[in-house]
């Protein structure tokens, strides 16, 4: 495929800039969560290189390459952004900034926020100055997100927020929250919801971490006790917050769905090592070999479906109906993957803590994966969505 002269020039410049500006320590895949840079007021950089890399990328707007320059973005075209991503992969450059602000709030702000809100929040997200968390789920609500009860009552030019949110990732480390609240208690349940942005340092906000079956987690429960939020922090139309929520949920589904694709620990490598192979190179356990092969069939088919969906979207042929498929199948597949890894590793995998190489990591990943088909809309909800929107079955 021939690149236009302009794009070729952009590629050359980008490559040169990255070579000059990406610190060596940032040129390797990080070892997981701990090597990610999340930014925010409370952030402590893990290294000088991490700080430098964020600052340099943010200065060019390349933490959010496609956002407009006026909001701290790089103003790149789709093609340019793709080239930047390719060139970063080429030198194995880490992402300079991980952020719910970038992944979730930013796109919603660009679509639903007013000019003042965009000007205020987007540049701080782009520079990693403010770290955001998401306030959606509530205790007892589960899949029925719209049944939320956290209330926001207008008192003068402030909303007074009372209630509680659950499953707020990193709420204890975040600076601000984007939060679904009920402003019209008497309206039908989907119509009384609004979308509020506020500072987690506001008086009346407190958080408490949640311990999962897999151990400590980034999840928190968050409590609001007469928190006063300026009225101008309402995003979008009052009572129409559910539209923004649906928009964001589609985003989230796609992110979580990504997990079933081949990647991470290679199951085949683990299997060869743990089970051993015979003279013909076949795994010594024929039953597990079958399970791995069957998993590979579905895993490749799923990864190729993600590829096809992206290609179709690029070609303008997307049906838009695939995010539930990817969420449902991807998370179920990841659970199967973790189950299979546990079977392959036997009692090694069952170790919880201790001196073993894996140090309980396998078991924790396995347990953590069980939540994939619950969070971000359960598998059952995704199947309901497919039945209704794609298949248009009656009563779905």
Q: What residues make contact with a copy of itself under the rule CB under 8 A?
A: 286-287, 289-290, 293
Among residues 345, 361, 365, 376, the one that binds other proteins under rule CB under 8 A: 345
x/- letters, 154..173, toward other proteins (CB under 8 A): ------------xx------
x/- letters, 285..304, toward other proteins (CB under 8 A): xxxxxxxxxx-xxx-xxx-x
- Residue 348 contacts other proteins per CB under 8 A: yes
Residue 212 has, within 13 A of its CA and on its CB side, a CA count of: 19
The answer to whether 98 and 63 are in contact (CB under 8 A) is no
- Residue 393 contacts other proteins per CB under 8 A: yes
Nearest CA among 224, 144, 137, 227 for reference residue 189: 144
* Residues in 207-226 at the binding interface with other proteins, rule: CB under 8 A: 210-213, 215
- Cα angle at 320 between 117 and 313, to 5 degrees? 90
User: Which CB, 265 or 290, lies closer to a copy of itself?
Assistant: 290
- Residue 86 contacts other proteins per CB under 8 A: no
* From a copy of itself, other proteins, none, interface partner of 46 (C-beta below 5 to 8 A by class): none
- Residue 357 contacts other proteins per CB under 8 A: no
Smallest separation, CB 358 to other proteins (Å)? 11
- Residue 279 contacts other proteins per CB under 8 A: no
Residue 252 is among the residues annotated as catalytic for this protein: yes
- Give the span between the Cα atoms of 250 and 54, in whole angstroms: 28
- The 3-class secondary structure across 309-334, one letter per residue, is HHHHHHCCCCCCCHHHHHHHHHHHHH
- Give the span between the Cα atoms of 6 and 189, in whole angstroms: 51
- Give the contacts of 47 (CB within 8 A, at least 6 positions apart): 25
Among residues 81, 160, 361, 387, the one that binds other proteins under rule CB under 8 A: 387
* Residues in 1-40 at the binding interface with other proteins, rule: CB under 8 A: none
Q: Between β-strands 132-135 and 176-182, what pairing exists: parallel, antiparallel or unpaired? A: parallel
Neighbours of 246 (CB within 10 A): 12
Instruction: Let me know how long the chain is.
Output: 396
- Give the span between the Cα atoms of 30 and 226, in whole angstroms: 41
Among residues 283, 341, 365, 376, the one that binds other proteins under rule CB under 8 A: 283
- Give the contacts of 320 (CB within 8 A, at least 6 positions apart): none
- Give the span between the Cα atoms of 233 and 236, in whole angstroms: 10
Smallest separation, CB 286 to a copy of itself (Å)? 4
Smallest separation, CB 294 to a copy of itself (Å)? 9
User: Which CB, 98 or 372, lies closer to other proteins?
Assistant: 372
Catalytic: which of 138, 252, 254, 274? Answer: 252
Among residues 74, 271, 341, 377, the one that binds other proteins under rule CB under 8 A: 271
User: Which CB, 15 or 289, lies closer to a copy of itself?
Assistant: 289
User: Which CB, 8 or 293, lies closer to other proteins?
Assistant: 293
- Give the span between the Cα atoms of 59 and 11, in whole angstroms: 19
Please identify every residue annotated as catalytic.
Answer: 252
């Amino acid at each position: 495929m021939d690149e236009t002269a302009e794009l070729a020039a952009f590629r050359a410049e980008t490559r040169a800039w990255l070579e000059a500006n990406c610190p060596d320590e940032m040129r390797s895949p990080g070892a997981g969560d701990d090597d990610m840079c999340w930014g925010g007021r409370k952030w402590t950089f893990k290294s000088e290189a991490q700080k430098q890399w964020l600052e340099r990328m943010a200065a060019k707007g390349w933490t959010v390459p496609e956002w407009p320059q006026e909001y701290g973005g790089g103003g790149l075209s789709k093609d340019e952004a793709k080239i930047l991503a390719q060139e970063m992969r080429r030198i194995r450059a880490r992402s300079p900034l991980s952020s719910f602000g970038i992944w979730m709030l930013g796109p919603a702000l660009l679509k639903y926020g007013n000019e003042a809100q965009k000007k205020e929040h987007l540049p701080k997200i782009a520079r990693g100055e403010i770290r955001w968390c998401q306030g959606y789920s509530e205790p007892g609500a589960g899949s029925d997100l719209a049944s939320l009860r956290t209330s926001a009552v207008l008192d003068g030019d402030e909303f007074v927020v009372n209630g509680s949110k659950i499953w707020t990732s990193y709420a204890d480390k975040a600076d601000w929250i984007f939060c679904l609240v009920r402003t019209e208690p008497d309206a039908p349940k989907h119509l009384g919801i609004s979308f509020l942005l506020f500072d987690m340092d506001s008086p009346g906000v407190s958080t408490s971490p949640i311990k999962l079956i897999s151990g400590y987690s980034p999840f928190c429960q968050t409590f609001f006790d007469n928190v006063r939020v300026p009225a101008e922090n309402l995003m979008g139309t009052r009572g129409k917050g559910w539209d923004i929520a649906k928009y964001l949920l589609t985003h989230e589904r796609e992110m979580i769905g990504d997990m079933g694709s081949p990647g991470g620990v290679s199951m085949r490598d683990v299997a060869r090592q743990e089970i051993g192979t015979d003279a013909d190179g076949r795994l010594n356990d024929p039953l597990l070999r079958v399970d791995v092969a069957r998993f590979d069939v579905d895993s490749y088919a799923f990864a190729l479906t993600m590829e096809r969906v992206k290609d179709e979207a690029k070609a303008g042929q997307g049906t838009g109906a695939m995010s539930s498929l990817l969420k449902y199948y991807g998370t179920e597949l990841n659970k199967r993957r973790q189950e299979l890894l546990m079977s392959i590793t036997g009692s090694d995998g069952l170790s919880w803590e201790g001196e073993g190489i894996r140090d309980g990591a396998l078991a924790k990943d396995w347990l953590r994966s069980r939540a994939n088909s619950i969070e971000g809309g359960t598998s059952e909800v995704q199947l309901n969505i497919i039945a209704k929107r794609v298949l248009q079955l009656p009563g779905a």
